[in-house]
Structure 1
């Protein structure tokens, strides 16, 4: 999760920051190293790990980015009651919800895909597919 590729540098930085904030890893002269707390974290059940990570993520984004904690929690609860595999529109989402959604997608907790709409005819008669982004919840 921490040693990702170049294309995921933004995600890697976010994850590193959260791991350091939660004292799961510490940075030193030789890079990031796992702490005792981090090792204990690895022994927890996956669902406990996810919630621990989300709680620490919320602490970071509310303190450092000004996200509204109540709005974030409300959106997380809304996602938790969503149906797996069903597409949900992003229309009407607030800036905070959109930011939270994009972070959850980067962390691999929400799946987002492009959905093909009805085929439209362009001027030269060839078909062109319109695309709109929906969110498929994967928790």
Structure 2
């Protein structure tokens, strides 16, 4: 089995603390089979069981470090959109009309005004005449409208 990139260990070794013997190795005489001693193997397996928790903890640490690096790489490339109250925005057409989406449909619809900022990236919109829009909108579904 191939070791995982995140942990550096194979799934089999994390569960059983030993490597699996491949079917190709089982049929052919190899150094690994010829040097096999049942008593020594049993003793070493018992010794390795004592270190299984440490091996799993090291794999967990490597996996968490890998996830942190991936998250940092992702967030470095993401550009957050921020709007202020009273900014003019366009809504994504495919979100408001999912069944009407086809090749010739517009990408953005109408112009709206940000009436209130609810949280980071979450906005309450209103029409240009002041009528409120019934739900909240995320910044990824909005685009700044320049007049």
The answer to whether TM tops 0.5 is no
Q: TM-score range with shorter-chain normalisation?
A: under 0.3
TM-score, reference length from structure 1 = 0.21
Which of these two proteins has the greater Rg computed from alpha carbons?
2
TM-score, reference length from structure 2:
0.20
More helix by share: 1
